[in-house]
Amino acid sequence: MLDTGEPAPDFELPDQHGERTSLSDHRGEYVVVYFYPRADTPGCTTEACGFRDNFEAFEAREVPVFGISDDPVDDLASFATKYDLPFRLLSDPDGDVAGAFDSYGEKNMFGNTFDGVFRNTYVVGPDGDVVLAYEGVSPEGHADAILDDLSELDAA
């Protein structure tokens, strides 16, 4: 897990439309970068829909939201369409970006060991440093918690 105050690794990845975006394109803004294991699974859907349902609040704060998984672009496009997700879902098929954010590695599920994405979230500040870090988050209410923490940052 990256610590607050550390520089966030820059990245450039394709979104659900095949358009490339980079973190450095958003320097000067807060950016939510959330990592999730698999599109269209129960926990990931709950988390994504939480961001969708709060999207206007993120937009009002001018805070872009990026969801990153190792799913292919086509799967992200289907997921975004199915749940009307208004933010960018980014495809990191080899887990390189997730790995740079300490959000990719060995997982164990139902007795099987495999490499995959960990459910972690970072808020990157305008200067490119991590200002908030959430490890192993619970999908329910996660977007609300980030908005509350962003309010505290604004008040500081």
* Residues annotated as catalytic (active site), given as ranges: 44
- Which token pair is 143? 């977007």
If 0-12 CB within 10 Å is exposed, 13-18 middle and 19+ buried, where does residue 81 land? exposed
Q: At what angle do helices 142-155 and 42-53 cross, to 10 degrees?
A: 40
Q: And the tokens for 116?
A: 């995959």
Mention every residue, 6+ apart, whose C-beta is less than 8 A from residue 96.
none
Residues forming beta bridges with residue 66, ordered by sequence position? 33, 88
> How far, in Å, CA of 113 to CA of 107, rounded?
6
Alpha helices in 21-128 (DSSP H): 42-53, 55-60, 73-82, 96-100
**The token pair that represents 10 in the structure block:** 């820059």
